[in-house]
Structure 1
Amino acid sequence: MFDFGFSELLLIAVVALIVVGPERLPKVARTAGHLLGRLQRYVGDVKSDIQREMQLEDLKKLQQQVEQQARDLEGSIRGQMNNVEADLNKTAAEVSEAVAVSAKPSAADEPAPPASGSALLAADAVPERKQQEGEADAPQEDATPSPQLELGLDPAASASRQPAEKA
């Protein structure tokens, strides 16, 4: 800090001995040492505060750089996701068009339309009429009701009725 040589320090000690006197010189030296120690601690605290502020500034700059890089990365990822999504949508549209074109049945390939509900009920009523008329050749069906309506949907019931309908 200050550039003092040995000869300058010796001159200051002699002047202090003459001005202060030999009796009070140890007290003055002790007080000067305490003050010098406080001054050094204060200078050290100021230096550490300045270093902390500089580190804080560096950290803020680093944080801003990281945030900017994160924003840039997020933007590029969003752009790539939009491109991939557009490609997927385009491919899905092409596939659905191809499926729609290949799934169009021709007039000869179309299956027969399903029978209406009234036609099924009329077919089920034929064995019942025969039983009411008293025809003996038709086998008797169980009197227990089936768990489903008589629409011809239950495979077990339709299997038991097939011999009756064929007769």
Structure 2
Amino acid sequence: MIDLGISKLALIGAVALIVIGPEKLPRVARTVGALLGKAQRYVSDVKAEVSRSMELEELRKMKDSVTEAARDMESSVQSGASDFEKSWSEATAGLDGAASSYDTSSPLGSLEPPVYKHPRKNWRLKQGAMPQWYKARAGVRTRTQSGAARVARFRPRSNSAPR
């Protein structure tokens, strides 16, 4: 890196004063300062981008390790479930004859899930459940109105227009 001491900066300043002249030196110094500021901002942006990409790479590695751990856990749970099913089938093997004595017509005896039956309620009755006086007091809109009709309804009346 360039080693700039006070003596070297003073020498550069003296040469710039002689070459550029005292009239143009402040303008050139401002321009050089602005260019140095832009360069510093650019370098800091590049550093921030590099650090962001490194953090992103670390997060990807962490995600991969968590995904791998989840896969391992899932496979161990699957193997444990298959072992449980095997031991359950062995334990209930002698009970097959006893299970047939249950009444399968009852919901408790059947192994099939119950079938959903729609309640067949009349939804029109539900609209009338709230009284009209409550709707009026609470400000519930009961009728649909277009935007133009709403503006016309709430437009202030002028005294000169006959009705």
Tell me the TM-score range normalised by the shorter chain: 0.5 to 0.7
Q: Which residue of 1 aligns with 2:36?
A: 36
Q: Which residue of 2 aligns with 1:82?
A: 82
Alignment partners' CA distance in 1, 2:4 and 2:54: 32
Aligned-residue offset at 1:4: 1.2
Give the letter aligned to residue 20 of structure 2: V
1:64 and 2:64 matched: yes
Larger Rg belongs to:
1
Cα RMSD over matched residues? 1.8
- Name the SS of the counterpart of 1:85 in structure 2: helix
Aligned-residue offset at 1:94: 3.3
Q: Which residue of 2 aligns with 1:92?
A: 92
Give the letter aligned to residue 58 of structure 2: D
Aligned-residue offset at 1:9: 0.8
- Name the SS of the counterpart of 1:22 in structure 2: coil
Q: Give % identity.
A: 47
12-21 vs 87-96, which moves further: 87-96
Give the letter aligned to residue 94 of structure 2: E
Highest RCO, 1 vs 2 (Cα 8 Å, sep ≥ 6):
1
What whole-Å deviation, never above 9, does each CA across 1:15-50 have from its counterpart, x for those lacking one? 111111100000000000000000000000100110
- Name the SS of the counterpart of 2:3 in structure 1: coil
Q: Which structure shows the bigger proportion of residues in helix conformation? A: 1
Q: Which residue of 1 aligns with 2:16?
A: 16
What whole-Å deviation, never above 9, does each CA across 1:54-112 have from its counterpart, x for those lacking one? 11111111111111111001000111111111111110103447x59xx9xxxxxxxxx
What whole-Å deviation, never above 9, does each CA across 1:88-139 have from its counterpart, x for those lacking one? 1110103447x59xx9xxxxxxxxxxxxxxxxxxxxxxxxxxxxxxxxxxxx
TM-score of the two chains, using structure 2 as the length reference: 0.57
Alignment partners' CA distance in 2, 1:19 and 1:77: 81
TM-score of the two chains, using structure 1 as the length reference: 0.56
Alignment partners' CA distance in 1, 2:39 and 2:2: 14
Give the letter aligned to residue 50 of structure 1: V
- Name the SS of the counterpart of 2:23 in structure 1: coil
